[in-house]
């Protein structure tokens, strides 16, 4: 209880009054204005935006895209499309989105976005069960020979019998064929189409070629199978889709991925866009066409919270629907709303705990940059860039350059370092590195300058302590930024920032020692208590 005596009574009273008023406003919005709060319940998922750029030459133009499928393991919500009013947009019963224009010339971006919730599934294969001799009519078609899945070709049949001779049970056949495609057929990123025979002869193929071969081998042994085309959901920007195999086993469709090593299971991140060996994108010939997916992990219904309460007079975020036309995203608004919360974490760490990071609120801003890279990759990049920029800064100080030109040189080094490190990381499969483009360059440069100043004025030990404190506080801010109920609550009720103000009124009245000082002077405190 002694701890609370260090806070001012007047400040606490004011803070409680502000918090009570805020609670009253929220209560009024819910009870009187019928604010929708069901959407505040946090749900994990991925926001996906597909952007297609088309360039026409005055002729009829058509673009077709296989849209994500609804199923027991994947749910699609909040689908929206925008094409500037220059195309007619339709969705077929088979979930094919089509944009058409009778005569189109010039350039135009087409966007299609949705929120996806997916589940991981693991399947148990029956042991010792023979391969069935017959199937229903709707399943038999998945045993047929296709143009790129040549299940009746002599070399395919021979390889299938080599892997699973006659009499081999169903489970063993699946394991042998999967293991061959996974371990013996090398994954190779290639453009163009690789059919099953080519993948078999070369012993290497892309994910499409590996799965065409697996489907062909399964069909050759009498197991119905098909391909699935889709997307791997990870916070990233990508121009690639993914394919895997689905086999009919014990009256259910079981997934296999011989590219990434998933046997009779499907990860949460796999999103199915199309059934069968079909192209995700098709378009009119002789047009310019480019596409890109942008994927972000987030909560569902953030936009619904705004839209469902759009007519309520106290909804200050209704202006976002106007800002959206100027490409200001709800994610950006959420980041802006969360920064004061992160600043409160910094204030608590500095004034009460006694951690002294570089800069007043630098950790809160650094933590923002970690949202797209993740904490581990972001911290690694941060440390590497700080050390590089600090070395440059120390060298430049010896030249006695003016402050601004020196800072410009440091920023240039930071930009080049981030670019090179990101390219190297992505080459080795660290896809999170694609998010480093959002690093606050100026913050990194200023932090490196503070580090080098402490290094020159004091020593490595002092500079190291400040750097560790910066990492710790930035990590705490990152953790607070990722509290999902808090994110969605702020979108629904931005007035909660008044509670944040109340907290800082109380923190600002602190008159006691910092907690780290209690630890440093605990021996003196013991002596004083003894007297």
Domain 121-267 has CATH 3.10.620.30: yes
Q: Determine the straight-line distance between the first and last CA of the chain, rounded to whole angstroms.
A: 22
Of 84-88, 334-338, 413-417, 445-449, least confident by mean pLDDT is 445-449
User: Of 46, 39, 47, whose CA–CA distance to 113 is shortest?
Assistant: 47
Give residue 39's pLDDT.
46
Checking if the pLDDT of 160 tops 60, the result is yes
Architecture of domain 44-119+281-300: Sandwich (2.60)
If one compares 369 and 253, the residue with the highest pLDDT of the two is 253
Average pLDDT over residues 477-500: 83
Q: Which residue has the tokens 């204005």?
A: 33
Q: How far apart are CA 351 and CA 515, in angstroms?
A: 9
Tokens of 228: 């699935």
If one compares 468 and 227, the residue with the highest pLDDT of the two is 227
Q: How far is CA 3 from CA 200, 354, 422, 515, 524, in A?
A: 72, 15, 46, 10, 18
Helical pair 460-481 and 441-457, crossing angle rounded to 10 deg? 150
Q: Provide DSSP, 296-358.
A: EEEETTHHHHHHHTTT-TT-GGGGHHHHGGGT--HHHHHHHHHHHHHHHHHHIIIIII----S
Decide if 459 contacts 355 (C-beta within 8 A). Answer: no
How many beta carbons lie within 10 A of that of residue 474, not counting itself?
27
Tokens of 75: 């749910």
Decide if 228 contacts 243 (C-beta within 8 A). Answer: yes
Give residue 321's pLDDT.
54
Q: How confident is the model at residue 180 (pLDDT cuts 50, 70, 90)?
A: very high
Mean pLDDT of the chain: 82
Give residue 365's pLDDT.
78
Give residue 380's pLDDT.
79
pLDDT per position as a tens digit, 106-140: 889 999 999 899 999 999 999 989 999 889 989 99
**Parts of the chain belonging to CATH 3.10.620.30:** 121-267
Give residue 322's pLDDT.
55
Give residue 144's pLDDT.
93
Q: How confident is the model at residue 527 (pLDDT cuts 50, 70, 90)?
A: very low
Give residue 291's pLDDT.
93
**Parts of the chain belonging to CATH 2.60.40.2250:** 44-119+281-300
| 3-state percent helix, strand, coil for the chain, nearest multiple of 5 | 50, 20, 25
């Amino acid at each position: 209880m002694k701890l609370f005596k260090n806070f001012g009574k007047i400040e606490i009273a004011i803070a409680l009054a502000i918090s009570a008023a805020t609670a009253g406003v929220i209560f009024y919005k819910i009870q009187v204005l019928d604010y929708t709060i069901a959407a505040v319940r946090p749900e994990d998922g991925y926001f996906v935006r597909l952007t297609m750029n088309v360039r026409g030459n005055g002729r009829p133009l058509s673009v077709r895209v296989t849209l994500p499928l609804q199923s027991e393991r994947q749910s699609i919500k909040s689908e929206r499309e925008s094409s500037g009013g220059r195309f007619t947009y339709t969705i077929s019963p088979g979930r094919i989105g089509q944009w058409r224009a009778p005569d189109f010339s010039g350039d135009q971006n087409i966007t299609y976005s949705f929120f996806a919730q997916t589940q991981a599934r693991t399947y148990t294969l029956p042991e010792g069960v023979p391969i069935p001799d017959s199937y229903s009519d709707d399943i038999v078609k998945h045993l047929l020979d296709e143009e790129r899945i040549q299940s009746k070709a002599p070399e395919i049949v021979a390889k299938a019998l080599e892997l699973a001779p006659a009499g081999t049970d169903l489970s063993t056949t699946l394991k042998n064929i999967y293991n061959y495609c996974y371990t013996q057929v090398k994954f190779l990123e290639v453009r163009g189409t690789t059919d099953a025979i080519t993948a078999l002869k070369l012993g290497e193929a892309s994910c499409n070629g590996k799965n065409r071969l697996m489907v062909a081998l399964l069909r050759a042994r009498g197991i119905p199978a098909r391909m699935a085309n889709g997307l791997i959901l990870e916070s990233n920007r990508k121009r690639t889709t993914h394919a895997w195999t689905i086999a009919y086993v014990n009256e259910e469709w079981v997934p296999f991925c011989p590219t990434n090593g998933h046997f009779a299971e499907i990860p949460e991140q796999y999103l199915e866009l199309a059934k069968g060996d079909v192209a995700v994108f098709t378009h009119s010939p002789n047009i310019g066409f480019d596409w890109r997916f942008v994927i972000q992990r987030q909560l569902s219904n953030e936009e619904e919270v705004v839209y469902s309460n759009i007519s309520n007079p106290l909804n200050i975020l209704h202006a976002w629907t106007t800002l959206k036309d100027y490409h200001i995203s709800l994610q950006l608004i959420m980041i802006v709303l969360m920064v004061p919360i992160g600043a409160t974490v910094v204030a608590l760490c500095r004034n009460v705990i006694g951690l002294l990071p570089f800069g007043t609120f630098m950790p809160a801003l650094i933590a923002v940059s970690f949202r797209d890279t993740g904490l581990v990759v972001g911290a690694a990049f941060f440390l590497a860039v700080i050390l590089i920029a600090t070395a440059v800064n120390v060298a430049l100080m010896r030249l006695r350059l003016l402050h601004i030109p020196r800072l410009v040189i440091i920023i240039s080094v930071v930009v080049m370092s981030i670019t090179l490190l990101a390219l190297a990381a992505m080459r080795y499969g660290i896809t999170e590195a694609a998010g480093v483009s959002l690093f606050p360059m100026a913050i990194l440069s200023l932090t490196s300058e503070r580090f080098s100043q402490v290094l020159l004025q004091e020593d490595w030990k002092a500079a190291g302590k400040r750097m560790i404190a910066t990492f710790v506080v930035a990590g705490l801010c990152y953790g607070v930024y990722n509290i999902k109920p808090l994110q969605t609550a702020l979108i629904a009720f931005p007035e909660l920032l008044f509670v944040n103000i109340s907290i800082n009124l109380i923190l600002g009245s602190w008159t006691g020692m910092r907690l780290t000082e209690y630890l440093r002077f605990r021996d003196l405190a013991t002596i004083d208590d003894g007297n």
